[in-house]
């Protein structure tokens, strides 16, 4: 994994994801970093802890959930503009799935403090993210029964 500072192009992707102006994101997300991963790299580990939130900037990722001790099933794919890690942020729970790079990819990492600041200024965004998290938890729960 390598890390770099976010540039304007990254902020444009985030602005589209959050429906917020790039200038507002730049002001709220002071510690925003972009992380690059090689194919097969684990970005988030199921069962791990963490409260950072991520947005896919480039590439494709698999969302994997454990079925048995050694078997994981792909339950979703992530592409540029997709948000992930929001469940851990909202409910401070263990990660509900693993996220693995399918190809070379980049993700914007938003720290908990920056994300709280953004949501303070945009309460409608918090409502959208909470609804997204509820849908994902339901979907993950349903897929674990299949």
In the sheet that 98-101 helps form, which strands lie side by side, from edge to edge? Answer: 42-44, 98-101, 61-68, 71-78
One digit per residue, the tens of pLDDT, for the chain of length 146 reads: 999 999 999 999 999 999 999 999 988 898 899 999 999 999 999 888 877 899 999 999 999 988 776 788 898 899 999 999 887 777 767 788 899 999 999 999 999 899 989 988 898 998 888 888 788 777 766 665 55
Domain coordinates in residue numbering, the chain = 2-144
What gap in Å lies between CA 18 and CA 75, rounded to an integer? 23
pTM greater than the 0.75 cutoff? yes
Task: Look up tokens 């194919």; give the residue.
Answer: 39
Task: Give residue 66's pLDDT.
Answer: 85
CATH 3.90.1170.20 fits 2-144, yes or no: no
Task: Give residue 2's pLDDT.
Answer: 96
Residue 120: CB partners within 8 Å, gap ≥ 6? Answer: none
């Amino acid at each position: 994994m390598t890390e770099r500072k976010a540039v304007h192009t990254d902020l444009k992707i985030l602005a589209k994801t959050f429906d917020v102006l790039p200038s507002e994101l730049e002001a709220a997300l002071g510690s925003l970093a972009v992380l690059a991963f090689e194919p097969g790299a684990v970005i988030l580990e199921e069962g791990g802890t963490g409260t950072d939130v991520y947005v896919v900037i480039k590439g494709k990722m698999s969302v994997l959930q454990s079925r048995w001790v050694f078997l994981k099933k792909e339950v979703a794919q992530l592409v540029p503009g997709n948000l992930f890690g929001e469940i851990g942020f909202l409910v401070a729970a263990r990660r509900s799935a693993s996220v693995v790079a399918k190809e070379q990819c980049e993700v914007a990492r938003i720290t908990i403090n920056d994300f709280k600041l953004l949501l303070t200024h945009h309460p409608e965004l918090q409502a959208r993210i909470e609804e997204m998290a509820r849908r994902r938890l339901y979907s993950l729960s349903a897929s674990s029964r299949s």
